[in-house]
A = this chain, B = another copy of it.
Amino acid sequence: MLNFAVGPVMMDDETLDVSSRQIPYFRTNEFSAAVDTCRKNLRSLFGAQDSYRVLFMTGSGTAAMEAAVMNVLSPKDRAIVVNGGTFGERFAKICSVHGIGYTEIECECGKTLTEERLTAIDGSGYTAFLVNLCETSTGVLYDIDMISEYCKKYGLLLIVDAVSAFLCDEFCMAKHGIDVVITGSQKALALAPGLGIMCFSERAAERIAANDVKSLYFDLKDYLSNDERGQTPFTPAVGVILQLEEKTTRLIAAGGIKTALEKAREKARYFRQGISGMPFKMFADRPSAAVTALSVCAGTDAYDIFIELKDKHGIFVCPNGGALKSNVFRVGHMGNLSYGDYDKLLSALSDVLRR
Protein backbone atom coordinates (compact mmCIF):
# COMPACT_ATOMS: atom_id res chain seq x y z
CA MET A 1 0.00 0.00 0.00
CA LEU A 2 1.28 3.40 -0.99
CA ASN A 3 -0.84 6.40 -0.05
CA PHE A 4 -0.62 9.76 -1.86
CA ALA A 5 -4.04 10.92 -0.62
CA VAL A 6 -4.34 14.10 1.44
CA GLY A 7 -5.07 12.50 4.79
CA PRO A 8 -4.60 10.06 6.38
CA VAL A 9 -1.10 9.89 4.91
CA MET A 10 1.91 7.57 5.20
CA MET A 11 3.24 7.61 8.75
CA ASP A 12 6.90 7.50 9.75
CA ASP A 13 8.30 4.32 11.32
CA GLU A 14 8.78 6.26 14.57
CA THR A 15 5.07 7.17 14.60
CA LEU A 16 4.04 3.58 13.87
CA ASP A 17 6.27 2.52 16.73
CA VAL A 18 4.39 4.83 19.11
CA SER A 19 1.01 3.70 17.77
CA SER A 20 1.86 0.04 18.25
CA ARG A 21 2.20 0.52 22.02
CA GLN A 22 -0.36 0.33 24.83
CA ILE A 23 -1.92 3.69 25.69
CA PRO A 24 -1.41 4.91 29.26
CA TYR A 25 -3.93 6.50 31.60
CA PHE A 26 -3.87 10.24 31.00
CA ARG A 27 -4.91 12.18 34.12
CA THR A 28 -1.28 12.17 35.24
CA ASN A 29 1.62 14.60 35.45
CA GLU A 30 3.46 12.49 32.88
CA PHE A 31 0.74 12.99 30.29
CA SER A 32 0.46 16.70 31.14
CA ALA A 33 4.18 16.99 30.43
CA ALA A 34 3.69 15.35 27.03
CA VAL A 35 0.90 17.83 26.25
CA ASP A 36 3.17 20.67 27.32
CA THR A 37 5.92 19.48 24.98
CA CYS A 38 3.39 19.36 22.12
CA ARG A 39 2.29 22.91 22.86
CA LYS A 40 5.84 24.28 22.94
CA ASN A 41 6.85 22.47 19.76
CA LEU A 42 3.71 23.55 17.93
CA ARG A 43 4.14 27.19 18.95
CA SER A 44 7.60 27.05 17.45
CA LEU A 45 6.33 25.44 14.23
CA PHE A 46 3.42 27.90 13.96
CA GLY A 47 5.70 30.90 14.53
CA ALA A 48 3.52 31.75 17.52
CA GLN A 49 4.47 33.85 20.50
CA ASP A 50 4.89 32.18 23.91
CA SER A 51 1.63 33.74 25.06
CA TYR A 52 -0.40 32.04 22.31
CA ARG A 53 -2.62 29.16 23.43
CA VAL A 54 -2.53 25.73 21.79
CA LEU A 55 -5.64 23.59 22.33
CA PHE A 56 -6.38 19.99 21.36
CA MET A 57 -9.77 18.59 20.51
CA THR A 58 -10.62 14.99 19.76
CA GLY A 59 -12.30 15.32 16.38
CA SER A 60 -11.64 15.93 12.70
CA GLY A 61 -10.20 19.12 11.24
CA THR A 62 -13.77 20.31 10.67
CA ALA A 63 -14.55 19.95 14.39
CA ALA A 64 -11.61 22.24 15.11
CA MET A 65 -12.70 24.70 12.40
CA GLU A 66 -16.20 24.90 13.83
CA ALA A 67 -15.01 25.12 17.44
CA ALA A 68 -12.55 27.90 16.61
CA VAL A 69 -15.03 29.99 14.63
CA MET A 70 -17.99 29.65 17.02
CA ASN A 71 -15.82 30.43 20.05
CA VAL A 72 -13.82 33.33 18.66
CA LEU A 73 -16.62 34.97 16.68
CA SER A 74 -20.22 35.73 17.56
CA PRO A 75 -23.29 37.14 15.81
CA LYS A 76 -21.88 40.59 16.57
CA ASP A 77 -19.05 39.95 14.10
CA ARG A 78 -19.00 40.36 10.38
CA ALA A 79 -16.59 38.17 8.46
CA ILE A 80 -15.02 37.98 5.03
CA VAL A 81 -14.79 34.35 3.87
CA VAL A 82 -12.64 33.30 0.94
CA ASN A 83 -14.56 30.53 -0.81
CA GLY A 84 -12.68 28.74 -3.56
CA GLY A 85 -13.82 25.18 -2.97
CA THR A 86 -15.12 22.61 -0.48
CA PHE A 87 -13.31 23.98 2.54
CA GLY A 88 -14.02 27.65 1.87
CA GLU A 89 -17.66 26.64 1.56
CA ARG A 90 -17.34 24.88 4.92
CA PHE A 91 -16.16 28.08 6.61
CA ALA A 92 -19.16 29.90 5.09
CA LYS A 93 -21.52 27.19 6.33
CA ILE A 94 -20.07 27.34 9.85
CA CYS A 95 -20.65 31.11 9.93
CA SER A 96 -24.16 30.62 8.64
CA VAL A 97 -25.05 27.91 11.19
CA HIS A 98 -23.81 30.08 14.05
CA GLY A 99 -25.48 33.29 12.92
CA ILE A 100 -22.23 35.08 12.06
CA GLY A 101 -22.78 37.54 9.23
CA TYR A 102 -20.33 37.13 6.35
CA THR A 103 -19.48 38.12 2.82
CA GLU A 104 -18.00 35.49 0.56
CA ILE A 105 -15.25 36.20 -1.90
CA GLU A 106 -15.97 33.41 -4.33
CA CYS A 107 -12.93 32.28 -6.26
CA GLU A 108 -13.33 30.09 -9.31
CA CYS A 109 -12.17 26.53 -8.59
CA GLY A 110 -8.43 26.32 -9.10
CA LYS A 111 -7.90 30.10 -9.05
CA THR A 112 -6.27 31.99 -6.23
CA LEU A 113 -7.50 35.24 -4.74
CA THR A 114 -6.02 38.17 -6.65
CA GLU A 115 -5.00 41.48 -5.15
CA GLU A 116 -7.51 43.15 -7.44
CA ARG A 117 -10.41 41.11 -6.05
CA LEU A 118 -9.31 41.57 -2.47
CA THR A 119 -8.66 45.28 -2.50
CA ALA A 120 -11.98 45.92 -4.24
CA ILE A 121 -13.61 45.06 -0.89
CA ASP A 122 -13.76 47.80 1.68
CA GLY A 123 -12.72 45.97 4.85
CA SER A 124 -13.88 48.68 7.21
CA GLY A 125 -17.30 47.11 7.75
CA TYR A 126 -15.80 43.79 8.88
CA THR A 127 -14.22 42.31 12.01
CA ALA A 128 -12.77 39.00 10.80
CA PHE A 129 -11.23 37.26 7.80
CA LEU A 130 -11.49 33.50 7.25
CA VAL A 131 -9.30 31.68 4.77
CA ASN A 132 -8.11 28.14 4.03
CA LEU A 133 -4.44 28.83 3.41
CA CYS A 134 -4.39 25.80 1.12
CA GLU A 135 -7.83 25.02 -0.32
CA THR A 136 -7.31 21.24 -0.15
CA SER A 137 -10.01 20.45 -2.70
CA THR A 138 -8.22 22.29 -5.52
CA GLY A 139 -4.63 22.56 -4.28
CA VAL A 140 -4.74 26.37 -4.46
CA LEU A 141 -2.49 28.33 -2.11
CA TYR A 142 -3.74 31.78 -1.15
CA ASP A 143 -1.25 34.61 -0.68
CA ILE A 144 -0.79 34.98 3.07
CA ASP A 145 1.44 38.05 2.75
CA MET A 146 -1.28 39.88 0.83
CA ILE A 147 -4.07 38.73 3.14
CA SER A 148 -2.04 39.57 6.24
CA GLU A 149 -1.44 43.09 4.99
CA TYR A 150 -5.14 43.54 4.23
CA CYS A 151 -6.18 42.30 7.70
CA LYS A 152 -3.63 44.55 9.40
CA LYS A 153 -4.88 47.54 7.42
CA TYR A 154 -8.47 47.04 8.59
CA GLY A 155 -7.69 45.53 12.01
CA LEU A 156 -9.42 42.24 11.11
CA LEU A 157 -9.08 39.10 13.17
CA LEU A 158 -7.36 36.59 10.89
CA ILE A 159 -8.52 32.97 11.10
CA VAL A 160 -6.49 30.54 9.03
CA ASP A 161 -7.43 26.95 8.25
CA ALA A 162 -3.96 25.45 7.84
CA VAL A 163 -5.22 21.88 8.01
CA SER A 164 -3.29 20.95 4.86
CA ALA A 165 -0.94 23.93 4.63
CA PHE A 166 0.82 23.36 7.95
CA LEU A 167 4.40 22.08 7.39
CA CYS A 168 3.98 22.51 3.62
CA ASP A 169 3.26 26.19 2.97
CA GLU A 170 4.93 29.03 4.81
CA PHE A 171 3.10 31.11 7.40
CA CYS A 172 4.13 32.66 10.68
CA MET A 173 1.46 33.58 13.21
CA ALA A 174 3.46 36.40 14.80
CA LYS A 175 4.75 37.94 11.58
CA HIS A 176 1.47 37.60 9.67
CA GLY A 177 -0.68 38.67 12.61
CA ILE A 178 -2.66 35.42 12.44
CA ASP A 179 -5.08 35.10 15.36
CA VAL A 180 -6.22 31.51 14.87
CA VAL A 181 -4.50 28.58 13.19
CA ILE A 182 -6.31 25.28 12.78
CA THR A 183 -4.76 21.99 11.75
CA GLY A 184 -5.27 18.26 12.12
CA SER A 185 -3.23 15.21 13.02
CA GLN A 186 -3.67 13.28 9.77
CA LYS A 187 -2.17 15.78 7.33
CA ALA A 188 1.51 16.72 7.11
CA LEU A 189 2.04 15.80 10.75
CA ALA A 190 1.38 12.29 9.39
CA LEU A 191 -0.24 10.91 12.53
CA ALA A 192 -3.41 8.89 12.95
CA PRO A 193 -6.57 10.91 12.30
CA GLY A 194 -8.66 12.02 15.28
CA LEU A 195 -6.99 15.10 16.73
CA GLY A 196 -7.86 18.69 15.89
CA ILE A 197 -5.24 21.28 16.81
CA MET A 198 -5.87 25.00 17.32
CA CYS A 199 -3.60 27.90 18.20
CA PHE A 200 -4.95 31.24 19.40
CA SER A 201 -3.39 34.68 19.74
CA GLU A 202 -3.98 36.56 22.98
CA ARG A 203 -6.85 38.57 21.54
CA ALA A 204 -8.47 35.41 20.15
CA ALA A 205 -8.15 33.70 23.56
CA GLU A 206 -9.72 36.74 25.21
CA ARG A 207 -12.66 36.46 22.84
CA ILE A 208 -13.10 32.78 23.75
CA ALA A 209 -13.12 33.62 27.44
CA ALA A 210 -15.79 36.30 26.92
CA ASN A 211 -17.98 34.31 24.54
CA ASP A 212 -21.04 32.26 25.40
CA VAL A 213 -21.38 29.20 23.17
CA LYS A 214 -24.27 26.78 23.16
CA SER A 215 -22.30 23.54 23.33
CA LEU A 216 -20.63 21.44 25.97
CA TYR A 217 -18.07 19.67 23.80
CA PHE A 218 -17.24 22.76 21.74
CA ASP A 219 -17.01 25.23 24.63
CA LEU A 220 -13.35 26.20 24.41
CA LYS A 221 -13.49 28.06 27.74
CA ASP A 222 -13.31 24.60 29.36
CA TYR A 223 -10.37 23.67 27.16
CA LEU A 224 -8.54 26.87 28.10
CA SER A 225 -8.94 26.26 31.83
CA ASN A 226 -8.07 22.55 31.64
CA ASP A 227 -5.11 23.43 29.46
CA GLU A 228 -3.52 25.30 32.33
CA ARG A 229 -2.79 21.90 33.91
CA GLY A 230 -1.95 20.25 30.57
CA GLN A 231 -5.26 18.42 30.33
CA THR A 232 -8.43 18.40 28.21
CA PRO A 233 -11.99 18.46 29.60
CA PHE A 234 -12.90 15.16 27.87
CA THR A 235 -10.90 12.03 27.08
CA PRO A 236 -8.39 13.15 24.47
CA ALA A 237 -7.06 11.04 21.60
CA VAL A 238 -4.27 10.03 24.00
CA GLY A 239 -2.46 7.87 21.46
CA VAL A 240 -2.41 10.62 18.84
CA ILE A 241 -1.08 13.15 21.36
CA LEU A 242 1.79 10.78 22.18
CA GLN A 243 2.48 10.45 18.45
CA LEU A 244 2.38 14.26 18.23
CA GLU A 245 4.90 14.64 21.04
CA GLU A 246 7.34 12.30 19.29
CA LYS A 247 6.81 13.80 15.84
CA THR A 248 7.04 17.48 16.74
CA THR A 249 10.12 16.86 18.88
CA ARG A 250 11.73 15.16 15.90
CA LEU A 251 10.69 17.99 13.56
CA ILE A 252 12.23 20.60 15.84
CA ALA A 253 15.45 18.58 16.18
CA ALA A 254 15.68 18.30 12.38
CA GLY A 255 15.63 22.08 11.92
CA GLY A 256 12.02 23.05 12.60
CA ILE A 257 9.61 24.62 10.17
CA LYS A 258 12.25 25.67 7.63
CA THR A 259 13.45 22.11 7.02
CA ALA A 260 9.90 20.76 6.92
CA LEU A 261 8.85 23.32 4.30
CA GLU A 262 11.90 22.58 2.16
CA LYS A 263 11.13 18.86 2.21
CA ALA A 264 7.51 19.38 1.17
CA ARG A 265 8.52 21.76 -1.62
CA GLU A 266 11.12 19.27 -2.87
CA LYS A 267 8.58 16.46 -3.03
CA ALA A 268 6.08 18.64 -4.87
CA ARG A 269 8.75 19.80 -7.33
CA TYR A 270 9.95 16.23 -7.96
CA PHE A 271 6.47 14.97 -8.75
CA ARG A 272 5.54 17.97 -10.90
CA GLN A 273 8.70 17.50 -12.97
CA GLY A 274 7.94 13.80 -13.29
CA ILE A 275 4.52 14.33 -14.88
CA SER A 276 5.76 16.93 -17.33
CA GLY A 277 5.33 14.63 -20.34
CA MET A 278 1.92 13.31 -19.26
CA PRO A 279 -1.49 14.51 -20.46
CA PHE A 280 -2.28 16.42 -17.26
CA LYS A 281 -2.50 20.09 -16.47
CA MET A 282 -1.84 21.77 -13.13
CA PHE A 283 -5.32 22.67 -11.89
CA ALA A 284 -4.25 25.34 -9.39
CA ASP A 285 -2.90 28.61 -10.75
CA ARG A 286 -0.95 29.10 -7.50
CA PRO A 287 -0.26 25.59 -6.21
CA SER A 288 0.30 24.68 -2.59
CA ALA A 289 3.24 22.40 -1.76
CA ALA A 290 0.85 20.13 0.14
CA VAL A 291 -0.95 18.73 -2.88
CA THR A 292 -0.91 18.76 -6.67
CA ALA A 293 -4.34 18.84 -8.28
CA LEU A 294 -4.24 17.66 -11.87
CA SER A 295 -6.91 18.12 -14.50
CA VAL A 296 -7.02 15.37 -17.08
CA CYS A 297 -7.38 15.77 -20.83
CA ALA A 298 -10.60 15.05 -22.69
CA GLY A 299 -11.18 11.31 -23.12
CA THR A 300 -9.62 10.46 -19.76
CA ASP A 301 -11.64 10.08 -16.57
CA ALA A 302 -9.93 11.24 -13.39
CA TYR A 303 -11.97 8.96 -11.17
CA ASP A 304 -11.05 5.95 -13.31
CA ILE A 305 -7.39 6.79 -12.76
CA PHE A 306 -7.99 6.78 -8.99
CA ILE A 307 -9.74 3.38 -9.20
CA GLU A 308 -7.13 1.81 -11.49
CA LEU A 309 -4.22 2.99 -9.36
CA LYS A 310 -5.95 1.60 -6.27
CA ASP A 311 -7.06 -1.73 -7.69
CA LYS A 312 -4.20 -2.59 -10.05
CA HIS A 313 -1.25 -0.95 -8.29
CA GLY A 314 -2.21 -0.70 -4.62
CA ILE A 315 -1.65 3.05 -4.80
CA PHE A 316 -4.00 5.70 -3.40
CA VAL A 317 -4.27 9.11 -4.95
CA CYS A 318 -7.09 11.41 -3.94
CA PRO A 319 -10.21 11.65 -6.08
CA ASN A 320 -12.30 14.81 -6.27
CA GLY A 321 -16.02 14.89 -5.65
CA GLY A 322 -18.94 16.76 -7.16
CA ALA A 323 -18.48 18.61 -10.44
CA LEU A 324 -14.73 17.90 -10.57
CA LYS A 325 -15.03 14.13 -10.11
CA SER A 326 -14.25 13.16 -13.72
CA ASN A 327 -11.84 15.99 -14.42
CA VAL A 328 -9.53 16.33 -11.44
CA PHE A 329 -7.53 14.10 -9.13
CA ARG A 330 -4.97 15.01 -6.52
CA VAL A 331 -1.56 13.77 -5.43
CA GLY A 332 -0.40 14.68 -1.95
CA HIS A 333 3.07 15.61 -0.78
CA MET A 334 2.42 15.10 2.91
CA GLY A 335 3.77 12.32 5.09
CA ASN A 336 6.43 9.68 4.70
CA LEU A 337 6.91 9.58 0.92
CA SER A 338 10.28 9.17 -0.76
CA TYR A 339 11.39 10.02 -4.29
CA GLY A 340 11.33 6.27 -4.91
CA ASP A 341 7.65 6.22 -3.92
CA TYR A 342 6.94 8.98 -6.45
CA ASP A 343 8.85 7.01 -9.10
CA LYS A 344 6.48 4.08 -8.42
CA LEU A 345 3.48 6.39 -8.76
CA LEU A 346 4.81 7.89 -11.99
CA SER A 347 5.41 4.47 -13.45
CA ALA A 348 1.93 3.30 -12.39
CA LEU A 349 0.41 6.45 -13.92
CA SER A 350 2.21 5.73 -17.21
CA ASP A 351 0.85 2.21 -17.12
CA VAL A 352 -2.72 3.40 -16.45
CA LEU A 353 -2.49 5.96 -19.27
CA ARG A 354 -1.20 3.34 -21.74
CA ARG A 355 -4.37 1.25 -21.40
Given contact pairs A90-B216, A97-B216, A61 touches B235 in the complex (Cβ within 8 A)? yes
Specify which chain B residues have a CB less than 8 angstroms from the CB of A214 in the assembled complex.
97-98, 214
Specify which chain B residues have a CB less than 8 angstroms from the CB of A98 in the assembled complex.
214
The B-contacting residues of A in range 88-114, CB under 8 angstroms, are 90, 93-94, 97-98
A60 contacts B by Cβ under 8 Å:
yes
Task: Pick the contact of A22: B11, B27, B237, B238 (CB < 8 A).
Answer: B11
A139 contacts B by Cβ under 8 Å:
no
A62 contacts B by Cβ under 8 Å:
yes
Contact in complex: A235, B58 (CB < 8 Å): no
Please list 18 pairs of residues, one from A and one from B, whose beta carbons are closer than 8 Å in the complex, sorted by A's number. Answer: A5-B25, A8-B238, A16-B22, A19-B20, A20-B20, A23-B192, A28-B316, A58-B59, A58-B60, A58-B63, A59-B59, A60-B235, A61-B235, A62-B233, A98-B214, A192-B194, A214-B214, A237-B237
Given contact pairs A22-B10, A94-B216, A194-B194, A62 touches B234 in the complex (Cβ within 8 A)? yes
A196, chain B: closest CB distance, angstroms: 9
Specify which chain B residues have a CB less than 8 angstroms from the CB of A17 in the assembled complex.
20
Q: Mark A232-257, 1 if CB is under 8 A from B, else 0.
A: 01111111100000000000000000
The B-contacting residues of A in range 1-58, CB under 8 angstroms, are 1, 3, 5, 7-8, 10-11, 16-17, 19-28, 58
Interface size on A, residues (CB 8 A): 54
Interface SS of chain A? loop
A154 contacts B by Cβ under 8 Å:
no
A215 contacts B by Cβ under 8 Å:
yes
A318 to B66, alpha carbons, bound, how many Å? 32
Interface on A for B, CB 8 Å cutoff?
Answer: 1, 3, 5, 7-8, 10-11, 16-17, 19-28, 58-63, 66, 90, 93-94, 97-98, 184, 186, 192-195, 214-218, 233-240, 310, 316, 318-319
Contact in complex: A237, B27 (CB < 8 Å): no
Specify which chain B residues have a CB less than 8 angstroms from the CB of A238 in the assembled complex.
8, 186, 192-193
A85, chain B: closest CB distance, angstroms: 16
Contact in complex: A8, B28 (CB < 8 Å): no
A274 to B16, alpha carbons, bound, how many Å? 38
Specify which chain B residues have a CB less than 8 angstroms from the CB of A23 in the assembled complex.
3, 8, 11, 186, 192-193
Specify which chain B residues have a CB less than 8 angstroms from the CB of A3 in the assembled complex.
22-25
A186 to B24, alpha carbons, bound, how many Å? 11
Contact in complex: A236, B10 (CB < 8 Å): no
